[in-house]
């Protein structure tokens, strides 16, 4: 258990030393969300309608852009191969890395989102549900993304290939995440959607570390 | 028999574009896949035969 | 049992075997297709609501069936290759992918052409068609990943993981898309709400489905032979094959 948290702390430290990378994802998120009104027009009703989907898609894309960072640095300096040989289970190492990764990339996105939601004139209840849905959804995105990052480790065309692999798998999370906010805006309770997001998250936590670990072994052998 | 005449058949009750557009593109895809497989086979065999010839030449030139 | 057979079947023995099987499957495909087309165009009556446009289902539905079936078979063989380290299984998975992607594209194309006269738009965001689109993305992802990895063993294994993850996700994706569709549209526009099937229409679809199945097997066997040649090109038995066929 102590090793687990040491790993998380180590990755957080590495991320802190490369603060700019983390900030870049956040700035990307803000820019993408702002692009939509520019493309669609400033009409308030329209913006309110598309807001949940737009914010969620932008969060998805930002989360995805941050994924190569998960394993790339350790892969380049050989640390990753050492991790494979460590007596500590690889799936636990993956989980620790994903947790650290989510804390610096997913969590800020979730808290940034309600602020951006204000740009779209969303009611407060919707903003809260937006936050909740992203808090539940972004960890799942990081976990699923870890599989993609492991599969494409060191490949040419890496980032774009990673998106192609991972985006279809993101779709259920997107549907229920944005759906939760939309349901709130229609006056109904988002409990069902949020529960499903929670279920996805639990499934992801239980299953994806093992798959990502297997993918890492395949990439490194 | 459903059709009064061949022209009625091609006309498909006004939906000819859609029906034949579907069947036509499908036929194109199938033919395309078969042709691509054939081309892959031809180039592969040509390349392998060339490799074989080269290796035999090199084998003969090596003094024993 | 099939699995044991593949464990002991080497690419060298499978190559000629597949070669002998291809003509049988191709002929079966052609015959079934001919009968199927006859049923589709000359025996099945005109639909009351959709007119002649409905005849597109005789391609659309079999293509959709095959696209999903091939994905599962591909994931199966890829999984076998990953679990038992059998080379031929992984080659089979790679051989199936392009044909599966092709059928997915056909399903989408015919779906669009069916949607236009029936519902007025070229694209209908109903659950089935949207899921087909996502399936196409899954196929393309598999093809892209295996193409991007030069080392064949890594390509096979990475592709297997991706295919298996995709296969597990397909029901989740389908369920989510169904939910999304009913939430937004009230499901009034749906390609699944096909005309109440006269039995002859069902027979037509089944015949075309079987034809597509036979074709897929023939295509996959042809392709796997090419993959075998490419990968085994330095072995003696390939040299003999080349000399015989020259």
Got the DSSP string for chain A? -HHHHHHHHHHHHHHHHTHHHHHHHHHHHHHHHHHHHHHH---HHHHHHHHHHHHHHHHHHHHHHHGGGGTHHHHHTTHHHHHHHSSS-HHHHHHHHHHHHHHHHHHHHHHHHHHHHHHTT--HHHHHHHHHHHHHHHHHHHHHHHHHHHHTTT-TTHHHHHHHHHHHHHHHHHHHHHHHHHHHHTTS--HHHHHHHHHHHHHHHHHHHHHHHHHHHHHH-
Q: Reply yes or no on whether the pLDDT at C5 is more than 80.
A: no
Residue C236 forms part of a structural domain = yes
SS3 C189: coil
pTM of this structure: 0.90
Q: Reply yes or no on whether the pLDDT at A4 is more than 60.
A: yes
Residue with the larger pLDDT of the pair A90 and C243: A90
Residue with the larger pLDDT of the pair B10 and B2: B10
Strand partners, C51: C47
Structure tokens at A112: 């940034």
Identify the band that residue A162 occupies on the pLDDT scale cut at 50, 70 and 90: very high
Other chains touching C, judged by 3 or more CB pairs under 8 Å? A, B
Give C57's contacts in chain B (Cβ within 8 Å).
Answer: none
Residue C37 forms part of a structural domain = yes
Give yes or no for a contact between A140 and A201, defined as CB atoms under 8 angstroms apart: yes
Other chains touching A, judged by 3 or more CB pairs under 8 Å? C
- Tokens 């990968």 locate to C231
The stretches of chain C forming alpha helices (DSSP H) are 2-8, 11-38, 57-84, 87-119, 127-148, 152-185, 199-231, 236-245
Give C116's contacts in chain B (Cβ within 8 Å).
Answer: 18
Say how many domains are in chain C.
Answer: 1
Q: What is the pLDDT of residue A18?
A: 82
Provide the domain limits for residue C98: 32-245
The answer to whether the Cβ–Cβ distance between C106 and B12 falls below 8 Å is no
Q: What is the pLDDT of residue B60?
A: 66
CB atoms within 10 A of CB C165: 22
User: Nearest CA to CA, how far is B60 from chain C (Å)?
Assistant: 17
Q: Reply yes or no on whether the pLDDT at B4 is more than 80.
A: no
Give yes or no for a contact between A52 and A130, defined as CB atoms under 8 angstroms apart: yes
The answer to whether the Cβ–Cβ distance between A172 and C169 falls below 8 Å is yes
Give yes or no for a contact between A81 and A220, defined as CB atoms under 8 angstroms apart: yes
Structure tokens at A61: 């894309």
- Rounded distance, CA B48 to CA B38, Å? 15
Q: Reply yes or no on whether the pLDDT at A67 is more than 60.
A: yes
Q: Reply yes or no on whether the pLDDT at A176 is more than 90.
A: yes
- Rounded distance, CA C43 to CA C58, Å? 13
Scanning every residue of chain B, which has its alpha carbon at the shortest distance from the alpha carbon of C236? B52
Residue C69 forms part of a structural domain = yes
Scanning every residue of chain C, which has its alpha carbon at the shortest distance from the alpha carbon of A212? C161
Residue C133 forms part of a structural domain = yes
- Reported for A108-113, long-range contacts at CB under 8 A and 24+ positions apart, including other chains, are A108/A22, A108/A26, A109/A25, A109/A26, A109/A29, A109/A59, A109/A62, A109/A63, A109/A134, A109/A138, A110/A59, A110/A134, A110/A135, A110/A138, A112/A26, A112/A29, A112/A30, A113/A55, A113/A59
Mean pLDDT score of chain C: 87
User: Nearest CA to CA, how far is C179 from chain A (Å)?
Assistant: 9
Percent of chain A past pLDDT 90, that is, above it, reads 71
Residue C22 forms part of a structural domain = no
Chain center to CA of C2? 20
Q: Reply yes or no on whether the pLDDT at C98 is more than 90.
A: yes
Structure tokens at C37: 């087309």
In the DSSP assignment, the letter for residue C25 is H
Q: Reply yes or no on whether the pLDDT at A212 is more than 90.
A: yes
- Rounded distance, CA A142 to CA A163, Å? 13
Q: Which of residues 141-200 of C touch A (CB under 8 A)?
A: 141, 144-145, 148-149, 154, 157-158, 161-162, 165-166, 169, 172-173, 175-177, 179-180, 183
Q: Reply yes or no on whether the pLDDT at C186 is more than 50.
A: no
Scanning every residue of chain A, which has its alpha carbon at the shortest distance from the alpha carbon of C174? A172
Residue with the larger pLDDT of the pair B54 and A162: A162
Q: What is the pLDDT of residue C94?
A: 96
- Tokens 């003509």 locate to C23
């Amino acid at each position: 258990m102590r090793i687990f948290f040491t790993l998380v702390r180590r990755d957080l430290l590495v991320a802190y030393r490369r603060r700019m990378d983390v900030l870049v994802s956040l700035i990307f998120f803000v820019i993408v969300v702002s692009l939509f009104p520019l493309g669609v027009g400033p009409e308030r009703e329209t913006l309110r309608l598309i807001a949940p989907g737009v914010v969620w898609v932008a969060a998805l894309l930002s989360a995805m852009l941050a994924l190569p960072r998960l394993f790339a640095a350790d892969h380049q300096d050989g640390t990753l191969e050492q991790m494979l040989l460590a007596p500590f289970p690889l799936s636990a190492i993956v989980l620790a890395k994903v947790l650290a990764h989510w804390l610096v990339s997913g969590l800020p996105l979730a808290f940034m989102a309600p602020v951006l939601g204000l740009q779209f004139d969303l009611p407060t209840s919707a903003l809260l549900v937006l936050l909740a849905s992203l808090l539940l959804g972004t960890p799942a995105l990081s976990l699923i993304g870890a599989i993609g990052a492991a599969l494409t480790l060191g490949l040419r065309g890496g980032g774009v290939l990673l998106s192609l692999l991972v985006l279809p798998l993101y779709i259920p999370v997107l549907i229920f995440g944005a759906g939760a906010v939309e349901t709130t805006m229609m006056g109904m309770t988002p409990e069902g959607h949020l529960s499903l997001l929670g279920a996805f998250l639990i499934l992801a936590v239980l299953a994806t570390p093992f798959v990502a670990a297997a993918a890492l072994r395949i990439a490194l052998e | 028999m459903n059709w009064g005449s061949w022209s009625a058949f091609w006309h498909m009750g006004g939906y000819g574009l859609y029906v034949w557009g579907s069947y036509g593109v499908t036929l194109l895809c199938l033919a395309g896949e078969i042709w691509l497989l054939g081309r892959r086979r031809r180039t592969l065999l040509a390349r392998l035969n060339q490799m074989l010839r080269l290796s035999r030449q090199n084998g003969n030139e090596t003094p024993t | 049992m099939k699995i044991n057979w593949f464990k002991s079947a080497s690419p060298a023995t499978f190559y000629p075997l597949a070669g002998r099987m291809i003509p049988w499957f191709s002929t079966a495909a052609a015959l079934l297709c001919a009968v199927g087309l006859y049923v589709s165009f000359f025996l099945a009556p005109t639909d009351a609501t959709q007119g002649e446009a409905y005849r597109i289902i005789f391609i659309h539905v079999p293509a959709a069936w095959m696209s999903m079936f091939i994905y599962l078979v591909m994931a199966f063989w890829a999984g076998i290759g990953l679990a038992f380290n059998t080379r031929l299984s992984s080659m089979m998975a790679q051989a199936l992918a392009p044909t599966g992607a092709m059928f997915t594209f056909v399903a989408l194309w015919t779906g669009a052409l069916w949607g236009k006269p029936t519902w007025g738009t070229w694209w209908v965001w109903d659950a089935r068609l949207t899921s087909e689109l996502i399936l196409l993305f899954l196929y393309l992802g598999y093809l892209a990943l295996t193409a991007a990895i030069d080392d064949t063993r890594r390509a096979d294994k990475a592709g297997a993981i991706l295919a298996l993850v995709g296969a597990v996700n397909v029901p989740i994706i389908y369920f989510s898309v169904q939910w999304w569709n009913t939430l937004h549209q009230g499901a009034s526009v749906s390609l699944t709400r096909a005309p109440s099937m006269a039995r002859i229409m069902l027979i037509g679809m089944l015949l075309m489905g079987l034809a597509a199945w036979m074709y897929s097997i023939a295509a996959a066997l042809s392709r796997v032979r090419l993959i075998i040649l490419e990968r085994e090109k330095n072995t003696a038995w390939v040299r003999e094959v080349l000399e015989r066929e020259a």
